[in-house]
Amino acid sequence: MTQENTASPASRLIDKYGRHVNYVRLSITDRCDFRCTYCMAEEMTFLPREAVMSLEESLRVAAAFVGMGVNKLRITGGEPLVRKNVMWLIERLGALPGLDNLVLTTNGSQLDRFAEPLKAAGVKRINISLDTLRPERFTAITRIGDLDKVIRGIDAAQAAGFRRTKLNAVMMRGVNDDEFVNLVRFAVDRELDISFIEEMPLGEIHGRSNTYISSEETRALLAPHFDLQATDESTGGPARYWRIPGKTSRIGFISPHSHNFCDTCNRVRVTAKGELYPCLGQNDALNLLPLLRDGADEGALRQAMMDSMGIKPFGHDFSQQMDSPQVVRFMSMTGG
Ligand code: SAM
Ligand code: SF4
């Protein structure tokens, strides 16, 4: 049962621009069973185990945030479902009073076995990344993944009773732009939501500017096929949604370039090694790991979280950075 978050107004996270942070994206691993071309380099060096927060440390961080008014937590990575004993953490997060909205982003590869336990643990919604419906292309984009397994994962999520499951597709010119119409049809047929994401310059990967497509261009591409109606619906994240009359699916666009959403930003990110990033598109961070490991009490941990509000910048600007990123962390490091 959901319990209201009772954090006192004085302990809430408000940044210097008056934005209330009530949403945390918590990365629990930098590792992944895929190597998506836009997210990782082909050869990745992952963190040594001791540099990664233990599950107990992740739980402590999450609980401290919830004590400060955070009511939405997204578990992410890397691929969160490859983290050993991940259900130990998720079951405890699901039982945290005041956390109304425990959600997960996954590549779907492990969902066939995890969908039911995730539902039982209280996960409310799942986002599944899916950039293509063509098996060979899927293996090329992920460098290793198997599309069938992900489709089985999507089926398992629906069979487990997850509603409003959302597909996330990164838009890439010359890579998957010929499939946007089919991806929407797939979502509509299965009563899934789908969001198209503008590719962000996170990590040194050459040639991003050649593949970048704006949300507007994709909407124009979809327009002859679907009667897209703009809505003011929100799921508490950065997506803006369109609907097709008579269908349940929402068609979302996450547009960090073309429709910068910083003015309403309500979130911060914690990496697998315990760095608190107040902004995905900037390099300022506050390291929580020493506090967690040096015996700091709850008060010190909360104070550090409060201090991070002072370094939350007004926003980011990705526009001039596609081939020479200002942020050298890959998305798999910071957590999507
Ligand atoms: N492994 C999980 C997955 O793929 O859903 C969770 C982590 S992944 C980093 C989270 C999201 O970030 C995915 O939807 C992925 O497509 C997206 N992503 C990764 N790198 C990106 C980039 N450079 N620009 C835009 N989206 C990116
Ligand atoms: Fe892994 Fe997700 Fe990054 Fe793909 S987008 S490499 S699945 S973390």
Tell me the best of 25, 31, 35, 36 to mutate to test the pocket of ligand 1, counting ligand atoms within 8 Å of each CB and taking the most: 36
Ligand 2 atom nearest to 39, measured from its CA: 3
Beta strands 13-14 and 20-21: pairing type?
A: antiparallel
pLDDT score, position 320? 56
Q: How many CB atoms lie within 10 A of CB 246?
A: 7
For residues 296 and 75, is the Cβ–Cβ distance under 8 A? no
Cα(7) to ligand 1 centroid in Å equals 31
DSSP H or E stretch at residue 220: helix 215-222
Ligand 2 atom nearest to 107, measured from its CA: 7
Burial readout 11-29 (b: 16 or more C-beta within 10 A, e: otherwise): ebbebeeebebbbbbbbbb
pLDDT tens for the chain, 336 residues long, are: 456 777 887 789 999 899 999 999 999 999 999 999 999 998 999 999 999 999 999 999 999 999 999 999 999 999 999 999 999 999 999 999 999 999 999 999 999 999 999 999 999 999 999 999 999 999 999 999 999 999 999 999 999 999 999 999 999 999 999 999 999 999 999 999 999 999 988 887 767 888 999 999 999 999 999 999 999 998 877 899 999 999 999 999 998 887 667 888 899 999 999 999 998 777 889 999 999 999 999 999 999 999 999 888 888 666 656 666 666 666 666 666
Q: Is the CB of 39 under 6 A from ligand 1?
A: yes
* CA atoms within 13 Å, Cβ hemisphere of 77: 26
Q: Is the CB of 24 under 6 A from ligand 1?
A: no
Q: What is the pLDDT of residues 223-270, one digit of tens each?
A: 999 999 999 998 877 899 999 999 999 999 998 887 667 888 899 999
Q: Is the CB of 29 under 6 A from ligand 2?
A: no
For residues 241 and 229, is the Cβ–Cβ distance under 8 A? no
Nearest CA to 183 out of 154, 149, 144, 211 is that of 154
Q: Is the CB of 30 under 6 A from ligand 2?
A: no
Dihedrals phi, psi of 167, to nearest 5 degrees: -90, 145
Cα(75) to ligand 1 centroid in Å equals 13
Please give the radius of gyration of the chain, using alpha carbons only, rounded to the nearest integer.
19
Cα(44) to ligand 1 centroid in Å equals 16
pLDDT score, position 330? 67
> What is the distance between the alpha carbons of residues 302 and 295, in angstroms, rounded to a whole number?
14
Biggest distance spanned by C-alpha atoms of the chain: 60
Q: Is the CB of 28 under 6 A from ligand 2?
A: no
Query: Which are the contacts of 322, defined by CB distance < 8 A and separation ≥ 6?
Result: 199, 201, 208, 209, 212
Name the residue ranges covered by the structural domains of the chain: 9-334
Tell me the best of 30, 36, 144, 170 to mutate to test the pocket of ligand 2, counting ligand atoms within 8 Å of each CB and taking the most: 36
Fold designation for 9-334:
TIM Barrel (3.20.20)
Q: Is the CB of 40 under 6 A from ligand 2?
A: yes
pLDDT score, position 335? 61
Cα(12) to ligand 2 centroid in Å equals 32
> What is the distance between the alpha carbons of residues 124 and 127, in angstroms, rounded to a whole number?
10
pLDDT score, position 203? 80
- 93 in helix, strand or coil? helix
Dihedrals phi, psi of 116, to nearest 5 degrees: -65, -50
Cα(76) to ligand 1 centroid in Å equals 9
Report how far apart, in Å, the C-alpha atoms of 201 and of each of 10, 183, 278, 322 are: 36, 24, 17, 5
For residues 327 and 313, is the Cβ–Cβ distance under 8 A? no
**What are the structure tokens assigned to 297, written together?**
């009490």
Q: Is the CB of 105 under 6 A from ligand 1?
A: yes
Q: pTM for this structure?
A: 0.93
- 77 in helix, strand or coil? coil
> What is the distance between the alpha carbons of residues 225 and 221, in angstroms, rounded to a whole number?
8
pLDDT score, position 38? 93
pLDDT score, position 323? 63
DSSP H or E stretch at residue 253: strand 250-254
